[in-house]
Structure 1
Amino acid sequence: MWVPLTPSWIRSLVWGITALRLLSIRPLIPALGFMAMTRLDLRLLLVSIAMALLAGASFARAQPAEAPFSPQSTTQTVTIGPDGTIQTAARQLLFMEYETGEVLYEKDGYTPMKPASMAKLMTTAVLFEKLKTQELGLDTLFTVSETAWRISVGQRAASSKMFLEVGKKVRLEDLLRGIIIQSGNDATLVAAEGVAGSEEAFAGLMNETAQKIGLKSSTFRNSSGLPHPEQWVTAHDLALLARHIISGYPQQYRYYAEREFKFAGIVQANRNPLLARFPGADGMKTGHTAESGYGLVGTAIRDGRRIIMVINGLTSEAERAAEASRLMEIAFNEFRSYALFSKGEQVGEAEVFAGLNSAVPLLINRDVRVTLRRDARAGLKAVIRYDGPLEAPVARGQAAGVLEISAPGMDTISVPLSTGKASARVGILDTVQLGLKDLLAGGTQVPSNTLP
């Protein structure tokens, strides 16, 4: 282990030597065995020690040192247009908050586009579900048909492939890695034929799954994402699909983080540029055809928060890699998630007419979390609205208005409120007295809640 020869280190050493000189150390000299040492000798000794330490540190600094790779998060200036748009060369862009499914930002995120190999996310979703229901196992064997071989190797020299051989049997786990890491079109077809008998039938399963998880604007016609005139998705649907895979299949999701896969003696690296360039990235899938351009469904975690990003329509692998890292950094830096209220928390009070209690607490019926751009936090407001005063008797848990939460650039959220305490009705004379008191006071005021 060596000490880096930095200005601060040298400065600390000099201060230490000076301190030793200033201290009254002569009484310590006999104890240290330096009986005959004069003040001049002591000064020479201290200088010699300092020179030796400096020389040793300089030598150590010149030696190569093995250090583990530890990527550090960096910040950068966010390019935001005057109207709040994020500047990017991507034709489509969408950020989604994983926890809530809320869309943080989108550029043509609901416009139909060609998925290219990002369609393979749906292929794996179908396979993961069959693993979950135990219809298939990781060791289930699939036979490579000549059709599967020809579609990627025989007829498409540039097609991404796993390099499967006709007639060979392949484990499902190997096929999954071939689909996810190597983006093998041959692997997708082998799996599709093995599960459904044909790729057309498997595409039917893909569309059924799409409907079940709420993908409203996507149509799948093959398992690979190769060009088809009727195959369309949206960035929003791909983000929903990614969220479904992450939450529904945690045991299988780990494959998306693997950096490489070796099959048939050939090692192929994961094509997802975020895995190597963005700390916290752990998936998911790239795609490219001439029509779609270069795209990516990516996701990363920072400080316990996960964001899903979809980009498409870029012009090269290099541009995709640069934009993916830059835009993911923007997503985490520009948008913040705020936990406002917890279920059952009191947010205010409602006045009660003719009740034993003059007011009852109002409780919120669910957890409330919002995600906002940083500059919108100052404009965040919450207002309680109810028809009041409530007339006694009031039951505990009775519906009693809403809490409206608003902020610049955010749709107003309305959360139901209920009473946290009961209030019995009082007698007729007390009712008259309370009514006169209320009349003189000018009626019920609608309180505005203070946000945490």
Structure 2
Amino acid sequence: MKTVADKLNAAVGRMRIHLGVTGMLVAMLVCVPQASALDTSAREAILVDYDTGSILFQKDADKPMPPASMTKIMTVFMAFERLKDGRLSMDDTIAISEKAWRKGGSKMFVKVNTRVAVQDILRGIIVQSGNDAAIALAEALGGTEEAFAEEMTRRAQELGLTGSTFRNATGWPDPEHRTTAYDLSRIAIETIRRFPEYYPIYSEKTFTYNKIKQGNRNPLLYKNMGSDGLKTGHTEAAGYGLTASAMRNGRRLVLVVNGLESVSARSREGEALLDWGFREFENYSLFEKGAVVANADVWLGSAKTVPLTVDKDVVLTLKRTSRQKMKVSVVYEGPVPAPIAAGTQLAILKVSAPDMEDVTIPLYAADDVAQLGVFGKVGAAVEYLVWGSGG
């Protein structure tokens, strides 16, 4: 027969408790669905949900690759940051060096020893993919293109893009100039999120400079499929690449493909992958920030339970066919001994569904719970002995 001490020790002892949860959702998640039957002729590819960060599809997404002119997304990102914090103005003018003027490949057709407004330079890079414009911008912001490329690499590292090393501002072939499909998707997402006032330039279909009109090389802008950016690239080593984004019904996806064999393949694969992502997946809201998900039992506290809440909105990306099979549970070790301070993490919300890895979200105490005094503890012990309660 157990003694009083045995029972009290058992009550205080930690037990792993699972509570079923129904209701709505909470916070931004990064959920990575498992391998899909989908395939692509792209050498590297990634498809990401903008709001949740969920990777819907990937193929060698962390493999170093030559990004060609998709490099210019990072070049422009550096300029957008300076515009945002006031170090640069759209009306500022940039000197055109002989190096920029002479550069081959795609061009904006700036003239040597002239000055060009930043707003034109940016369109020359984004719409016309001008190598001359990218070099002029790099020299203006970094002193030299090489110094600017080093700054691009440092900034990428600060953003957590560990697979990127930039040797120039254009994507011109260099054996050490490398990034990954994953890193390009992150640069695109950060561009869209941080610079809503400047991002629309990526959707402009034409730009005329020096009486030369050129069209945007992004094929998806012309397909009436919700695409509004970002950038193409091509070199012999890189193949044909595209970093793209599209919105439908308020939901945005970001795509990177590279290593394709032709302009038509780039267009076809880009459209097909985005269509697949919008068709097969949906975002589901589980809880809003501050919503009470469950209540945890409390041991020797002024309250018998404490509400568990989330500190962010929780949105989950799921295959439409997996939604009905989703399972949500709360896991914690309890009863939780008082005192408890509001904001303390006490549990996790676990979400499981077919074709995705389990997702866990921290749950926090919504209220303070004081510890009972001596007489309260005695009363709780008696209640436990009589009723078996942990409170």
Q: How far 1:220 sits from its partner (Å)?
A: 0.5
Q: Is 1:86 matched with 2:35?
A: no
| Partner residue, 1:418 | 365
Of 85, 88, 101, 1:133 maps to 85
Q: How far off is 1:234 after superposition?
A: 0.3
- Alignment equivalent of 2:180, drawn from 234, 258, 267: 234
Residues 187-212 of structure 1: per-residue CA shift (max 9 Å, x gap):
11122222223211121221122122
Of residues 397-406 and 176-185 in structure 1, the stretch that sits farther from structure 2 once superposed is 397-406
Q: 1:359 to 1:244 in 2, by over 3 A?
A: closer
Matching of residues 6-21 of structure 1 within 5 Å: none
Structure with the bigger percentage of helix: 1
- Taking structure 1 as reference, are residues 392 and 415 closer, same or farther at Cα in structure 2, changes over 3 Å only? closer
Q: Out of 412-421 and 267-276, give the one that drifted further.
A: 412-421
Q: What's the CA shift string for 1:295-316, capped at 9, x where partnerless?
A: 1110011111111111111111
Over 3 Å counting, the alpha-carbon distance change for 1:430 and 1:118 in structure 2 is: same
The structure 2 residue matched to 1:146, chosen from 83, 88, 98, is 98
CA shift at 1:253, angstroms? 1.1
Per-residue CA deviations over 1:95-127 (Å, capped at 9, x if unaligned) read: 122223332321111111110000011111111
Corresponding residue for residue 16 of structure 1: none
Distance 1:144 1:393 in 2: 67
Matches of 2:138 and 2:339, distance apart in 1: 64
Structure with the higher strand share, 1 or 2: 2
Q: CA deviation at 1:424?
A: 6.2
Following superposition, the deviation at residue 294 of structure 1 comes to 0.6
Distance 2:138 2:75 in 1: 8
CA distance in 2 between partners of 1:402 and 1:318 (Å) = 47
The CA distance in 2 between the partners of 1:392 and 1:165, in whole Å, is 73
Structure number with higher relative contact order (C-alpha < 8 Å, ≥ 6 residues apart): 2
**Counterpart of 1:387 in 2: which secondary structure?**
strand
* In 2, Cα distance between equivalents of 1:326 and 1:346: 40
How far is the alpha carbon of 1:411 from its aligned partner?
3.5
Look at both structures and tell me which one has the larger radius of gyration over its CA atoms. Answer: 1
Q: Tell me what 2:149 maps to.
A: 203
Higher mean C-alpha deviation, range 212-221 or range 229-238:
212-221
Unaligned regions of 5+ residues in structure 1, if any? Answer: 1-81, 153-158, 445-452
Give the alignment's TM-score, normalised by structure 1: 0.73
Distance 2:265 2:362 in 1: 43
Per the alignment, do residues 355 and 190 of structure 1 end up closer, same or farther by CA in structure 2, a change over 3 Å counting?
closer
Contact 2:328–2:352 (Cα < 8 Å) also in 1: yes
The answer to whether 1:321 aligns with 2:267 is yes
| CA displacement 1:223-259 (0-9 Å, x = unmatched) | 1101011000001100111111112222221110101
Aligned equivalent of 1:285: 231
Equivalent residue in structure 2 for 1:262, among 177, 183, 208: 208
Deviation at 1:292, TM superposition (A): 0.7
What CA distance in whole angstroms lies between the structure 2 residues aligned with 1:136 and 1:356? 58
- Which runs of 5 or more residues in structure 2 are unaligned? 1-33
Amino acid at match of 1:116: A
Aligned length: 355
* Greater CA drift, 372-381 or 427-436: 427-436
Partner residue of 2:376? Answer: 427
Amino acid in the other structure paired with 2:282: R
Q: Kindly tell me: are residues 322 and 428 of structure 1, through their superposed partners in 2, closer, same or farther at Cα, counting changes over 3 Å?
A: closer
In 2, Cα distance between the equivalents of 1:269 and 1:190? 21
**Aligned partner letter, 1:286:** T
Partner Cα distance (2:127, 2:234) in 1: 15
CA distance in 2, matches of 1:367, 1:415: 12
Overall identity of the aligned pairs, in %? 42
RMSD across aligned positions (CA): 2.3
Q: Do residues 373 (structure 1) and 312 (structure 2) align?
A: no
Alpha-carbon separation, structure 1, partners of 2:334 and 2:191: 46
CA distance in 2, matches of 1:316, 1:138: 35
The CA distance in 1 between the partners of 2:163 and 2:206, in whole Å, is: 33
Distance 1:391 1:143, change over 3 A: closer
Quick one: distance in 1 between partners of 2:289 and 2:371? 25
Structure-2 residue corresponding to 1:113: 65
8 Å CA contact retained: 1:360, 1:422: yes
How much has 1:371 moved relative to structure 2? Answer: 1.1
Local SS of the residue matching 1:88: coil
Q: Residue 406 in 1 paired to residue 352 in 2?
A: yes
Deviations 1:343-372 (A, max 9, x none): 221222223345565434332333221112
Q: Which residue of structure 1 aligns with residue 10 of structure 2?
A: none
Over 3 Å counting, the alpha-carbon distance change for 1:161 and 1:346 in structure 2 is same
In 2 relative to 1, CA 216–411 (structure 1 residues): closer, same or farther, beyond 3 Å?
farther
Output one character per residue of 1:320-349: Cα deviation in whole Å (capped at 9) or x when no partner.
111111111111111211111122212222
In structure 2, what residue type is equivalent to 1:91? R
**Which residue does 2:74 correspond to in 1?**
122
CA deviation profile, 1:157-182 (whole Å, cap 9, x unmatched): xx211122222322221111110000
Q: Alpha carbons of 1:404 and 1:143: their partners in 2 closer, same or farther (altered >3 Å)? A: same
CA offsets 1:117-155 (integer angstroms, 9 cap, x no match):
000111111112222233222222223222222222xxx
* SS class of match (2:157): helix
**Partner amino acid, structure 1, of 2:350:** E
Normalising by structure 2, we get a TM-score of: 0.84
Equivalence for 1:297: 243
Does the Cα contact within 8 Å between 2:98 and 2:113 map onto a contact in 1? Answer: yes
Deviation of the 1:392 alpha carbon: 5.0
SS in 2 for 1:250: coil
With over 3 angstroms needed to count, the CA separation of the structure-2 counterparts of 1:145 and 1:99, relative to structure 1, is: same
2:276 is the counterpart of 1:330:
yes
Asked if the contact 1:399/1:419 (under 8 Å) is kept, the reply is no
Q: Which residue of 2 aligns with 1:32?
A: none
